């Protein structure tokens, strides 16, 4: 399995263009990986996801918070306005968030507001394999977390989303 495009065939700008969106609106992670590895960046989704996750872990809390805040609300205003990134739009649609009933949509809006008010960043979950009902259940549970626990949980979910996005970029060869 090889990433497509193959990182070894890219220059810095090409790598950032291809992989800068793996972490939502945070191309600095791809840039840092390239600056550390250059044309030695691995062409495996698993290996690249580990490097990118390590880059995130090494960042300060302000950079991590900015990355969390770059994520859209689930079934939120960005989805309604049609301004989600392609990855986010496909991921949310895959979980059925584009098919919410009025009451489900209202519930998402209430939970998004409560979560953001409590934690100061949006609720983040890797939605692949989940239904909108599963996501609402996780919302309810995670709202009871402390900010410290939820900050780390959100970062782990971001890393999972990035890994899944990289896996989707792999070609069998």
Tokens encoding 115: 């979560």
Helices (H), 20-146: 28-37, 45-58, 61-69, 77-81, 86-94, 102-119, 132-142
- The rounded distance, in Å, linking the Cα atoms of 172 and 158 is 25
- The rounded distance, in Å, linking the Cα atoms of 161 and 159 is 5
| Contact predicate 116/147, CB 8 Å | no
Query: Which of 18, 52, 71, 136 is the catalytic position?
Result: 71
- The rounded distance, in Å, linking the Cα atoms of 92 and 70 is 16
Q: Let me know if 71 is a catalytic residue.
A: yes
Q: Residue 154 is inside which H or E element, if any?
A: helix 147-168
User: Around Cβ 162, how many Cβ atoms within 10 Å?
Assistant: 25
What DSSP state is assigned to residue 72? P
Catalytic annotation, residues: 71
């Amino acid at each position: 399995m090889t990433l497509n495009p193959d990182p070894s065939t890219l220059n810095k700008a090409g790598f950032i263009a291809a992989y800068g969106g793996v972490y939502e609106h945070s191309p600095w992670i791809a840039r840092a990986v390239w600056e550390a590895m250059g044309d030695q960046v691995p062409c495996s989704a698993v290996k690249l996801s580990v490097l990118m996750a390590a880059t995130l872990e090494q960042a300060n809390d302000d950079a991590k918070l900015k990355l969390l805040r770059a994520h859209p609300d689930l079934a939120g205003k960005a989805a309604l306005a049609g301004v989600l990134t392609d990855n986010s739009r496909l991921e949310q649609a895959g979980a059925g968030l584009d098919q919410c009933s009025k009451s489900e949509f209202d519930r998402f809006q209430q939970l998004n507001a409560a979560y953001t008010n409590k934690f100061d960043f949006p609720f983040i979950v890797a939605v692949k394999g989940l239904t909108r009902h599963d996501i609402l259940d996780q919302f309810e549970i995670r709202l009871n977390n402390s900010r410290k626990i939820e900050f780390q949980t959100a970062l782990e979910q971001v890393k999972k989303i990035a890994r899944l996005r990289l896996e989707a970029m792999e070609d069998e060869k």
